[in-house]
Structure 1
Amino acid sequence: MNIKIKFTALCAAAGLALAGCGGQHEASSADASATPSAGKTYIVGTNAEFAPFESQGANGQLTGFDIDLMNALAKAGGFKVTFKDQPWDGLFASLNNGDIDMVAAAVTITDERKQTMAFSEPYFEITQVILVPQGKELKSAEELKNMARIGVATGQTGDLAAQKLLGATSPKIARFDSVPLALKELESGGVDAVVSDSAVVANYVKNNGDKGFHMVTVPDFPAEHYGFAVRKNDEAALKMLNAALEKVRASGEYDKLHDTYFAKTK
């Protein structure tokens, strides 16, 4: 999200956290280094437009690797979570304002983001890739300079990669509110290519093989890592997440979830 690339002063009481599930969630003045309450509910912000990490099912329920993994962490760590779906460009502000406690939205860990938030240990590795029409081949990202319009999701790491290559104000960069919107524009011929996270693009290709697009991996884009984001001073939540992630990996649950969403992705 690319690529998108990730918690907080805790609530003074569990009642505040539960109240926050229905609306505005206020940050607590309690010491952020205190041990999280057993059974405490945390509001987790996400953006359900980034399958297979987070999306909305036919019944309106949130689904995806991040959703299932966060639920597994909550079970292993003895805490509870409730998800809040909202636009990508407002997630980090909501985190810092105390409206949400964590962000689980395929957030790439970057040095710039570390200035304003803290990240869990990495839980997924991706790279930026280029989606182009069938028959179009690229050997390097430099060839994007020869195209008229490159689609990206605003503020995600695909946007950052395009800016690095073409310049932040380049008219060649066509920005969209989400990856699905950028992909729709590619399908209609409005852009020549889309730059986004490898797992997301691979998922699109796997589920839309009849549309004639294919993913190109180029050596120019480095590996990136996703992490769960918390407010910068929320050491207790960070410690809790990392401990739970370690348990989920050790139990084999992480591998099961990974196979469910990615084993057949090419």
Structure 2
Amino acid sequence: MKKIVLATIFVVVSSGAMAKDLTEIKFGVDPTYAPFESKAPDGTLIGFDIDLGNAICAQLKAKCVWVETSFDSIIPALRAKKFEGIMSALSINEKRKEQIDFSDRLYNSPTKLIVKKGSNLDATVESLKGKRVGVAQGTTQEAYMKSMWAPKGVSIKSYQTQDLVYQDLISGRLDATLTDAAVADIGFIQTSRGADYTFSKTEVKDEKILGEGIAIGLRKGDEELKTALNQALKALHENGTYKQLADKHFTFDIYN
């Protein structure tokens, strides 16, 4: 009897079958970060994360349900079981690892400072001391600035969304903003309202705070869902779906 049971377990595990019935997966998302997640004029959720999440669900033969949540409260909402995963350009870093788990890496995106053209401001304490720098609440960029820049004289102002940061940047109430470069490039700098702005020359790097890539945030201990999502993601890489979706949204390699 024991041999039969063990053989059955081996078949289930080796075939990649999941004990959990994944008929529906709820993802938390803050749709204010184009090109990763935003809203079309008709209110439809669009973006790379949305397309990739829907493809992962399709691979698992599950229904994707998107739950809109502000970014600064998205981890508490996950832990409160309002959804199963966070798919909203969430960086992997040590502080977040203390609270939640992560899937395999989805993609990478650098952190850069946006400044007005001709300002000569750069992403250094020496350049920004006494300047007003805006940032979205709950982001790794906010954590970095509060830890590394604020104690050295840089004035930090946090906003509920990045769009509110841009409004104050354009109005002159801010001198710069630190944010995700891919989001900012397509969602601001390449648009008419961002025509007078550019990236400073220095890219901000700090793996401990800013993270080691973007992944799906998961509740600790949810190993079956984590395994299922990782298997689906691997399959999308192998069958070419991931590249097809990435090429739709980006002109550069978002994964490496």
* TM class, shorter-length: 0.7 to 0.9
What residue number does 1:35 align with? 19
Which has more helix, going by share of residues?
Answer: 2
Deviations 1:112-154 (A, max 9, x none): 1111111011111112100000112345422443342100011
Q: With structure 1 as the length reference, what TM-score do the two structures score?
A: 0.81
Report SS of the residue matched to 2:218. Answer: strand
Residues in 2 aligned to 1:249 and 1:144: alpha-carbon distance in whole angstroms: 42
Structure 2 stretches lacking a partner, 5+ long = 1-17
1:165 equivalent to 2:124? Answer no
What residue number does 2:215 align with? 227
What residue number does 2:236 align with? 248
Conservation of the 8 A alpha-carbon contact between 1:134 and 1:212:
yes
Moved over 4 A (4+): 168-171
Give the structure with higher Rg (CA). Answer: 2
Alpha carbons of structure 1 residues 186 and 111: separation in structure 2 relative to 1, 3 Å: same
2:225 aligns with one of 218, 237, 245: 237
Alpha carbons of structure 1 residues 65 and 174: separation in structure 2 relative to 1, 3 Å: same
Shift of 1:175: 0.6
1:130 equivalent to 2:118? Answer no
Shift of 1:171: 7.0
What residue number does 1:47 align with? 30
Give 2:62's aligned amino acid: F
Alpha carbons of structure 1 residues 89 and 170: separation in structure 2 relative to 1, 3 Å: farther
Give 2:197's aligned amino acid: F
Report SS of the residue matched to 1:136. Answer: coil
Structure 1 stretches lacking a partner, 5+ long = 1-33
Residues in 2 aligned to 1:261 and 1:148: alpha-carbon distance in whole angstroms: 34
Corresponding pairs, count: 231
Shift of 1:169: 10
Alpha carbons of structure 1 residues 169 and 136: separation in structure 2 relative to 1, 3 Å: closer
Alpha carbons of structure 1 residues 221 and 171: separation in structure 2 relative to 1, 3 Å: closer
Q: With structure 2 as the length reference, what TM-score do the two structures score?
A: 0.84
Paired-residue identity, %: 26
2:199 aligns with one of 180, 194, 215: 215
Conservation of the 8 A alpha-carbon contact between 2:27 and 2:84:
yes
Shift of 1:208: 3.1
